[in-house]
Amino acid sequence: MNATEIFSAMEPASDPASGGSTEYINHHLQFLQMKVGEGSFMTLNIDTLFFTLVLSVLFVGVFLLTARRATSGVPGKFQTVVEMIVEFVDGLVRETFHGNSKLIAPLSITIFLLVFLMNFMDMLPIDLLPWAWASGHEMVGEDPAHAYLRAVPTADLNTTFGLSIAVFLLIQYFGISHKGMGGFTKEIFSAPFHAEGPVGKVLLAIPNFILRVIEEGVRPLSLSLRLFGNMYAGELIFILIALMTLNASLAHVSTYALGAAQFVAGFAWTTFHILIITLQAFIFMVLTIVYLSMAAESH
C-alpha cells in the first residue's frame, strides 16, 4: 500500500530525497546498470535481470513443489488455487486455439503467471527495496545516492520487448509447423488479397507481402508497449504519491494532512492497480493465444 512512505516524514530526508522532488523521481527511475565490455555500447539492467530470474525461479519452484505434493483426494487450499488457474487457462485455450499443440496450454499459464509476478512487484512499498539497497551501500562505505534499483521488471521496455519478441518467434514457428514451409511462404504473398490468374497473383504479391510485414511487426509492438506503458505509469503514480510528504517536517501541521491524504491516495491506487496488473497479464496471455491460433489456421 506504500504506507511506509508516510513514516519517512518522521526522519530527516537522506539522499537522493534531500535534493528535491526531481532528484527523487530521477533516482527511482534509474536502473542499476553495467556496461558489457570496455567501450561497448551494450548495457545490462542488472536489477531487471535479477528480479526476473528470482521470480522465474520462484514460479518454477512453487509449481514443481505443488505438482509433487498434489493429491488425487481432497486438495489443499494452495493446490485448489493452482488447479483453478490451470483449468481456467486450459478452457480458454480450448475455446481460442483451434490447432493441435501440447505446448500452448503450459505456455499460456507460464506467460500469465510470470507476467503477473513481475507486475506484482509494483505492489511493494516504493521506497522499501531502494532504501534497503542504499543502506547496504552505506554499510560498505559506498555513496547511497548512487545506489540505483528498480524492482518492477515489466516497467523496463527491454523486458516487455523480450517477451513480445519471444511470442513473435513462436508465431512464426507455429505457422511453419502447422502449414509447412511451402504453405507458410505461399500465404505471405497470397493473403489477404487473392487472385485466380497468375498475373493477378504476381500483381497482388507485393501488397500482400507489405501488409504481412506490417501485421507481423505490429504484434510485438502492441504487446510490449501496452504492458510497458501501463506498468511504467503505475510505478510513476506511486512515486508521485510518495512526493506528498517528501522532506516534510513534523513541526508543520500540513505534514499530518498530507500524510493522511498520502495514505488514502496510496490505498486507493494500490487497490485499483491490483486490477491493472492482473488485467495486463491476462491480456498478454490472451493475445498470445489468439496470435498463435491465427498462425496455426489457414488464411
Contacts of 5 (CB under 8 A, 6+ apart): 125, 126, 127, 241, 242, 245, 262, 266
Span 61-116, pLDDT tens digits:
988 888 888 887 777 888 888 888 888 888 888 888 877 778 888 899 999 999 99
Nearest to 283 by CA among 170, 163, 171, 172: 163
40 pLDDT above the threshold of 90: no
Is 226 marked active-site? Answer: yes
Show Cβ contacts of residue 153 under 8 Å, excluding neighbours closer than 6 positions. Answer: 48, 51, 52, 55, 118, 121, 159
pLDDT (0 to 100) of residue 248? 67
Give the model's pLDDT for residue 161.
95
Q: Catalytic residue among 18, 26, 135, 222, which?
A: 222
pLDDT grade for 6, boundaries at 50, 70 and 90: very low
pLDDT of 4 strictly over 50: no
Query: In whole angstroms, what is the distance from residue 91 CA to residue 195 CA?
Result: 38
What is the C-alpha to C-alpha distance for residues 181 and 187, in angstroms, rounded to an integer? 10
The 3-state secondary structure of 169-215 reads HHHHHHHHHHHHHHHHHHHHHHCCCCCCCHHHHHHHHHHHHHHHHHH
- Stated as kind and residue range, the H or E segment containing 136 is helix 128-139
Among 21, 158, 226, 247, the active-site one is 226
pLDDT band at 251 (very low <50, low <70, confident <90, very high): low
**Model pLDDT, residue 19:** 57
Q: What is the pLDDT of residues 137-169, one digit of tens each?
A: 888 888 888 889 999 999 999 999 999 999 999
- pLDDT tens, position by position, 275-297: 999 999 999 999 999 999 888 87
Mean per-residue pLDDT of the chain: 85
SS3 140: coil
The pLDDT of residue 172 is 92
Q: Report d(CA 298, CA 291) in Å as an integer.
A: 13
Least confident of 82-91, 106-115, 121-130, 262-271: 82-91
| 45 has catalytic annotation | no
DSSP 126: T
What phi and psi, each to the nearest 5 degrees, are found at residue 103?
-90, -30
Please tell me the predicted confidence (pLDDT) of residue 299: 58
Tell me which of 234 and 22 has the higher pLDDT.
234
CA gap 250, 244 in Å, rounded: 14
| CB-facing half-sphere around the CA of 296: CA atoms within 13 A | 16
Alpha-carbon distances of 291 from 91, 157, 193, rounded to whole Å: 17, 21, 20
pLDDT of residue 8: 39
Beta strands in the chain (DSSP E): 33-35, 43-45
Check if 212 is active-site: no
Average confidence (pLDDT) over 55-65: 91
pLDDT at position 83, please?
84
List the catalytic residue out of 230, 247, 254, 298.
Answer: 230
Question: What is this structure's pTM?
Answer: 0.86
Mean pLDDT of 34-59: 89
* pLDDT of res. 42: 85
Q: Is the peptide bond before 106 cis (omega within 30 degrees of 0)?
A: no
